[in-house]
């Protein structure tokens, strides 16, 4: 059954709930619909929108987290992205950056290319993260649980992974409007 | 032959303060020296390493990524659709396996096409020699600052002292 039985929440709804809890933390957002939706929900200079290099969101965030140990760094990732760069779960688990929160919006499909299935319906990514050495991992479906666990992770030492099961609904959001070099400059300035 | 500690010190002197990568035998001495100085963050794949370098750059660091030239293939998409188009420079320290056709079979094709491959990827590159080392590093630093894209310094066998000289 797909998406996971009982999953009613869309990624955009889940993302909006999380963005309400964030202020000036650096957020790295994976390519495809997640970046477009985040830009529509709340465009902040502390957002780094990926438009390509699928699979790299967590690695970019890791570079930021290691270089800015006093800032909590958030990744908004997808199941297809995590599967593509799964080695990075091991790197994060081994290096154990305390300031690293990895949110995975898991809709079990490659949404941007037409909802072809991923394999996250049978591979529990939060368990992979736990086995790799993430300190806190949670899997949630409901909005209340999502908000509760995310608030909790913001208070804890990481690395943490919050996997949120979402449905395949996509927000009507246009492409990322900023030019890539401007995204870089704006983000660098904002996290100084 | 350049000593590994001299080479690492020279990189630090031009401002490099974030080192990651995936090992190669030619780079063994350099990585050992970086580990000794507690400067090295190991990656599991070269595309992960260049993405980490991109993050480090945006957080104010000057990053270098060490890799075997086979890693250029692994990291191709990340290099061009992240580091290059977002103008996130990094210094690629690439061991030139297969140069001159004398190496294990898996290195020969990349060894032969590497300079053209880097040209096609629009990555400025230079090959380190002991005689020109000071100029080479100056060129790396200047190209990094001016172009804001990945720049490669190729290392051939025997130019920087390895673990087993």
User: What pLDDT sits at residue A160?
Assistant: 98
Q: Between chains, do A180 and B86 touch, taking CB under 8 Å as contact?
A: yes
> What is the residue-wise DSSP string for A30-99?
-TTHHHHHHHHH---TTEEE-SS-TT-HHHHHHHHHHH-TTS-EEEEEEHHHHHHTTHHHHHHHHH--TT
Q: CA B92 from chain center: how many Å? A: 3
Q: Give residue A22's region: left, alpha or beta (phi > 0; psi -120 to 50).
A: beta
Q: Quick check: B147 contacting A, CB < 8 Å?
A: no
Phi, psi dihedral angles at A32 (to 5 degrees)? 90, -155
**Tally of CB atoms within 10 A around B145:** 13
For residues A68-105, b (16+ Cβ closer than 10 Å) or e, as one string?
beebbbbbbbbbbbbbbbbbbbbbbbebebebbbbbbb
Pairing mode of beta strands A116-117, A109-110: antiparallel
Other beta carbons less than 10 A from residue A25's beta carbon? 16
Q: Which residues of B touch A184 (CB under 8 A)?
A: 58, 86-88
Residues of chain A neighbouring B22 (CB-CB closer than 8 A) = none
Q: How many A/B residue pairs have CB atoms within 8 Å?
A: 101
- Which pLDDT value is given to residue B69? 97
Mean pLDDT of chain A: 95
Across the range A117-132, mean pLDDT stands at: 97
- Residue A147's φ and ψ, nearest 5 degrees, are -65, -45
pLDDT digits (tens, 9 = 90+) for B47-95: 999 999 999 999 999 999 999 999 999 999 999 999 999 999 999 999 9
DSSP B79: I
- Provide the percentage of residues in chain A whose pLDDT is more than 70: 96
pLDDT band at A6 (very low <50, low <70, confident <90, very high): low
pLDDT tier, A3 (very low <50, low <70, confident <90, very high otherwise) = low
Contact status of A13 with chain B (Cβ, < 8 Å): no
**pLDDT over 60 at B165, yes or no:** no
Q: What is the DSSP letter of A156?
A: S
In chain B, what is the straight-line distance between the N-terminal and C-terminal CA atoms, in Å? 10
Residue A4: predicted pLDDT:
61
| Strands B18-21 vs B63-68: parallel, antiparallel or unpaired | parallel
Pick the CATH number of A11-190 from 2.40.440.10, 2.40.10.220, 3.40.50.970, 1.10.1060.10: 3.40.50.970
The pairing of strands B91-95 and B18-21 is unpaired
Mean pLDDT confidence for A59-81: 98
In the predicted structure, residue A153 carries a pLDDT above the cut 60: yes
- Digit-coded pLDDT (tens) for B86-128: 999 999 999 999 999 989 999 999 999 999 999 999 999 999 9
Q: DSSP code of B165?
A: -
Residues of A in contact with B20 (CB under 8 A): 63
With residues binned 3-state (H G I as helix, E B as strand, rest as coil), the percentages for chain A, rounded to 5, are 40, 20, 40
What pLDDT sits at residue B162?
82
Residue B73 has a pLDDT of 96
Is B58 in contact with A63 (Cβ distance < 8 A)?
yes
Over residues A155-184, the mean pLDDT reads 94
- Split at pLDDT 50, 70, 90, the class of B163 is confident
B51: nearest CB among A60, A95, A191: A60
Pick from B51, B61, B76, B90 the residue to mutate for testing the A interface (most A CBs within 10 Å). Answer: B51
The whole-model pTM stands at 0.96
If you average pLDDT over residues B116-142, what whole number do you get? 97
Instruction: Quote the distance between the C-alpha of residue A110 and its chain's center.
Output: 15
Instruction: Give the pLDDT score at B111.
Output: 95
What is the distance in angstroms between the Cα of B85 and the nearest Cα belonging to chain A? Answer: 6
Judged by a CB distance cut-off of 8 A, whether residue A147 touches chain B is no
Do A61 and B55 make contact, defined as CB atoms within 8 angstroms?
yes
pLDDT at A1 over 60: no
Domain spans in chain A, listed from the N-terminal domain onward:
11-190
Dihedral pair phi/psi, residue A76, rounded to 5°: -105, 110
Using the predicted structure, report yes or no on whether residue A5 has a pLDDT greater than 80: no
Domain B4-155 has CATH 3.40.50.300: no
Q: How many CB atoms lie within 10 A of CB B77?
A: 16
Contact (Cβ atoms closer than 8 angstroms) between residue A105 and residue A11: yes
């Amino acid at each position: 059954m797909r998406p996971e039985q009982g999953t009613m929440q869309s990624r955009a709804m889940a993302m909006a709930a999380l963005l309400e809890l964030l202020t000036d933390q650096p957020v790295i957002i994976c390519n495809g619909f997640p970046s477009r939706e985040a830009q529509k929900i709340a465009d902040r200079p502390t957002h780094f929108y990926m438009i390509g290099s699928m699979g790299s969101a967590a690695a970019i965030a890791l570079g930021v987290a290691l270089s800015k140990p006093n800032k909590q760094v958030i990744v908004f990732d997808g199941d297809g992205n995590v599967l593509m760069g799964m080695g990075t779960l091991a790197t994060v688990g081994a290096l154990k950056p305390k300031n690293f929160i990895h949110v995975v919006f898991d809709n079990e499909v490659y949404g941007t290319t037409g909802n072809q299935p991923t394999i996250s319906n049978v591979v529990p990514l939060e368990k992979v993260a736990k086995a790799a050495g993430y300190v806190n991992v949670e899997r949630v479906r409901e909005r209340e649980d999502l908000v509760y666990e995310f608030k909790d992770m913001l208070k804890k030492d990481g690395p943490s992974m919050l996997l949120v099961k979402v449905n395949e609904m996509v927000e009507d959001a246009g492409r990322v409007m900023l030019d890539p070099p401007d995204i870089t400059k704006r983000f660098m300035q904002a996290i100084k | 032959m350049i000593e590994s500690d001299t080479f690492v010190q020279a990189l630090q002197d031009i401002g490099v303060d974030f080192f990651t990568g995936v090992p190669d035998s030619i780079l063994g001495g350099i990585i050992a020296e970086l580990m000794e100085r507690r400067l090295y963050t190991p990656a599991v794949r070269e595309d992960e390493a260049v993405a980490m370098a991109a993050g480090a750059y945006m957080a104010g660091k000057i990053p270098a990524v060490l890799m075997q030239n086979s890693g250029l293939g692994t990291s191709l998409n990340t290099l061009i659709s992240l580091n290059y188009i977002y103008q996130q420079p990094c210094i690629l320290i690439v061991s030139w396996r297969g140069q001159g056709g004398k190496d294990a079979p898996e290195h020969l094709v990349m060894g032969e096409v590497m300079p053209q491959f880097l040209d096609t990827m629009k990555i400025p590159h230079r090959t380190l020699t002991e005689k020109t080392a000071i100029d080479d590093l100056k060129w790396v630093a200047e190209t990094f600052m001016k172009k804001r894209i990945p720049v490669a310094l190729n290392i051939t066998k025997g130019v920087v002292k390895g673990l087993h000289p």
